[in-house]
């Protein structure tokens, strides 16, 4: 800082000192306040996200009972090797996969189609959007209780409707596939509207020129949808696939409340990994094994994430785009 010539006068020096103090404070402020602003997030995440994540890994290497959780006995990888030969684990993994596929794929396809329709010039378009998002505001618990009644074997609305068109009573809850379909419809009902809005937002960001030039080239609406809309939406589609996969992997509330027990049906026909983990920890009191299930879930998600990442790179390269 350039020093003024008439340095002798006391009021100026005081001013200057104040200025200098202020500038030091200013520099400290600009340097450290950003860390102060992001600190709360990271402190809370460290305490309630990262530390538990690591500790769950540690606990998975021990025998831990729900009744005496601080009494940990080292067992190495026993919990994991035990899982590998556990038919209930494989069953829940399979169920999670099947329910994940039959809830995610139709959901995203419908959302894509609905977003396309909502992108037309519509009367009451906001009304449609709000109505389709209403299930999103409904909790897992409330939605599942209602759907469990709609799927009721003897007096449920769905079997009654099917009876009208001559289809015999279906035991939704008891069947292996029917129960998975029923649980999936709850997921589909709650999330289709949300994904529709995300696709709609992405569609509205597609430059209009692309459609103009496509229609000049004589492309039909359907061809425009396939050749203009879908490619432009690719990053968004990948994003929703990733989010839905994460959601499907940890599916818990729907299968728990559909039958009301953590076993996921009399023959575990719709027990998911999340549910099996809960049953292991809080019905069988085996927190160590529950931790091992949680970590297996985490590793699965990492593997799936890597596959998606490779897939996105492959697609990106083949079309010469960089994605988002």
Partner 1 sequence: MSISSETATRPPGSAPAAQPDVPGGGSPRRRKRARAGGAGRQMHAGWLTYLILGIFTFGSLFPLVWTIFAASSSSTRLAQTPPPFWFNDRLAENLDEAWNTANMGLALLNTVFVAGAITLSTVLFATLAGFAFAKLQFRAKNILLMLVIGTMMVPPQLSVVPLFMAVAELGWTNQLQAVILPMMVSAFGVFFMRQYLVQALPTELIEAARVDGAHSLRVIWHVVFPVARPAMAVLAMLTFVMAWNEFFWPIIVLTQQNPTVQVALTGLGRGYVPDQGVIMAGALLGTLPLLIVFAIFGKQIVGGIMHGAIKG
Q: Which residues, 115 to 154, sit near partner 1 by CB under 8 A?
A: 117-122, 126, 128-150, 154
Interface with partner 1 includes 56 (CB under 8 A)? yes
* Gap between the Cα atoms of 278 and 112, Å rounded: 34
Nearer to partner 1, 5 or 167 (CB): 167
- Show Cβ contacts of residue 241 under 8 Å, excluding neighbours closer than 6 positions: 104, 108, 308
Interface with partner 1 includes 206 (CB under 8 A)? yes
SS3 state of residue 63: strand
Total residue length of the chain: 324
Scanning 35-43, 87-95, 98-106, 306-314 for contacts with partner 1 by CB under 8 A, the matching segment is 35-43
Interface with partner 1 includes 216 (CB under 8 A)? yes
Nearer to partner 1, 98 or 202 (CB): 202
Nearer to partner 1, 12 or 50 (CB): 50
Nearer to partner 1, 17 or 25 (CB): 25
Nearer to partner 1, 99 or 143 (CB): 143
- Show Cβ contacts of residue 50 under 8 Å, excluding neighbours closer than 6 positions: none
Task: Look up residue 283 and give its two tokens.
Answer: 């019905």
* Gap between the Cα atoms of 184 and 198, Å rounded: 21
Q: CA triplet 227, 106, 142: central angle to 5 degrees?
A: 140
Scanning 3-11, 101-109, 173-181, 291-299 for contacts with partner 1 by CB under 8 A, the matching segment is 291-299
Region 170-199 residues binding partner 1, contact defined as CB under 8 A: 189, 192-194, 197-198
CA pseudo-torsion sign 4, 6, 8, 13: negative
Interface with partner 1 (CB under 8 A), residue from 256, 263, 268, 271: 256
Contact by Cβ (8 Å): 223, 114: no
Interface with partner 1 includes 160 (CB under 8 A)? yes
Region 71-100 residues binding partner 1, contact defined as CB under 8 A: none
Interface with partner 1 (CB under 8 A), residue from 162, 174, 232, 241: 232
Beta bridge partners of 74: 62
| CB of residue 195 to partner 1, shortest distance in Å | 9
Q: What is the DSSP letter of 227?
A: I
How many residues of this chain interact with partner 1, rule: CB under 8 A? 121
């Amino acid at each position: 800082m350039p020093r003024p010539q008439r340095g002798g006068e006391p009021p100026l020096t005081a001013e200057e000192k104040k200025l200098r103090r202020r500038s030091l404070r200013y520099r400290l402020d600009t340097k450290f306040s950003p860390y102060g602003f992001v600190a709360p997030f990271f402190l809370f995440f460290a305490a309630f996200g990262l530390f538990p994540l690591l500790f769950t890994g540690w606990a998975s290497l021990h025998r831990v009972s729900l009744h005496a959780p601080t009494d940990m006995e080292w067992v190495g990888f026993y919990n994991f090797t035990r899982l590998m030969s556990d038919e209930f684990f494989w069953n829940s993994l399979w169920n999670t996969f099947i329910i994940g596929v039959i809830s995610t794929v139709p959901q995203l396809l419908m959302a894509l189609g609905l977003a396309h329709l909502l992108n037309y010039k519509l009367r009451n378009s906001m009304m449609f959007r709000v109505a389709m998002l209403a299930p999103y505001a409904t909790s897992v618990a409330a939605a599942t209780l209602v759907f469990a009644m709609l799927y009721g074997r003897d007096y449920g609305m769905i079997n009654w409707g099917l009876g009208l068109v001559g289809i015999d009573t279906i035991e939704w809850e008891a069947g292996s596939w029917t129960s998975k379909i029923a649980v999936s419809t709850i997921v589909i009902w709650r999330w289709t509207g949300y994904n529709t809005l995300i696709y709609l937002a992405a569609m509205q960001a597609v430059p209009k020129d692309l459609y103009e030039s496509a229609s000049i080239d004589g492309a039909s609406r359907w061809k425009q949808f396939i050749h203009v809309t879908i490619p432009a939406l690719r990053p968004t589609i990948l994003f929703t696939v990733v989010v839905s996969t994460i959601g499907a992997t940890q599916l818990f509330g729907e299968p728990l409340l559909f039958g009301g027990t953590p076993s996921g049906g009399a023959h575990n026909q719709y027990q998911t990994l999340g549910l099996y983990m809960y049953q292991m920890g809080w019905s069988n009191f085996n927190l160590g094994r529950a931790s091992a299930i949680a970590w297996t879930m985490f590793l699965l998600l990492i593997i799936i994430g890597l596959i998606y990442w490779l897939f996105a790179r492959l697609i990106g390269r083949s079309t010469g785009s960089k994605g988002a």
